[in-house]
Amino acid sequence: MLSTKVTVTYTLLEDVIMHQATEVRQVQAPQRRKWWYWVLVVVFGVLGIGFGLAIFGMLTVQFGFLGAILYCVGVYYWQRHQTRAIPDDYYDTLRSPLMRAPYVVDFYECTRRAWAQGTLATLGQGYATEGKLPQPDFVKRYVPTEGSALRVFFENFPPPDGEFMIGVGNLQSGRDRGWFVLTNRRLMQRDGRDNVFKTMPLASIARYEINEATKSLHFTLKSGEHVAFAQVQMWPKADVITAVLAQFA
């Protein structure tokens, strides 16, 4: 979905584990157009033109040709619209020193490797599919642009060796659009009351409760400490938290 000329779609991670206060997204990997899809479009287009010419005459072919042109124009402008959704600092971030920091490079490599090996198969097969992408293409799908959750994560809570990403939550727009990052070792979540991010090691969590009505999250740690988040706009889905705690905590 992202290539040298980037077009943005919202990532598998957001579809799989994100719960927004305004909507609940179902667990479903994004559908990607394969090369054979476009071959079939061309083949059936040519067959359709031949069939129309043989049966209905030139007028039908002209209407078919016009329809094909309108379709191509529509796809072109849809892609342009998607491109405008790219954050202004997308390319600057890709070229920034942050992306060359050893801990950032290791984090992306560890994430892609874990996904490709099927470590998160219980959360969906889409992880393994994305894990098979070439490393540069994989990185381009999760760029830590200004205001994103990954930017906060990298700058304030650098990942140690062996940590990899499971989920990330970002609003579609706004400089402070990032809300959480979930890894195999910890949860970084933003508190909507003061916009402060806190991290909790998964191994420290004894139990948790999510109140969707009040948009709040409550964690009881094994030490007895209580950690709460309120006025939250985005958080990991409860079933994902349960699965991740069972597998990694």
Q: Please count the residues of the chain.
A: 249
**pLDDT value of position 172:** 81
Cβ atoms of 174 and 213 closer than 8 Å = no
Q: What is the pLDDT along the chain (249 residues), one digit of tens a residue?
A: 333 333 333 345 555 555 665 432 322 233 344 555 566 666 666 666 665 556 665 555 555 555 655 665 565 455 544 444 566 788 899 999 999 999 999 999 999 999 999 999 999 888 999 999 999 999 999 999 999 999 999 999 999 999 999 999 999 877 788 999 999 999 999 999 999 999 999 999 999 999 999 999 999 999 999 999 999 999 999 999 999 999 988
**pLDDT value of position 73:** 53
**pLDDT value of position 14:** 53
DSSP code of 30? P
**pLDDT value of position 27:** 27
Element (H, E) at 12: helix 12-17
Of the chain, the end-to-end C-alpha distance in Å amounts to 33
Q: Hey, what CATH class is 1-22+33-249 in?
A: mainly beta
Measured CA to CA in angstroms, residue 4 lies from 27, 38, 233 at distances of 28, 19, 32
**CA–CA separation, 76 and 93 (whole Å):** 26
b (16+ CB within 10 A) / e for 65-77: eeeeeeeeeeeee
**pLDDT value of position 234:** 93
**pLDDT value of position 17:** 58
Dihedrals phi, psi of 235, to nearest 5 degrees: -155, 165
The answer, as to whether pTM is greater than 0.85, is no
3-state secondary structure (DSSP) of residue 221: strand
Cβ atoms of 98 and 145 closer than 8 Å = no
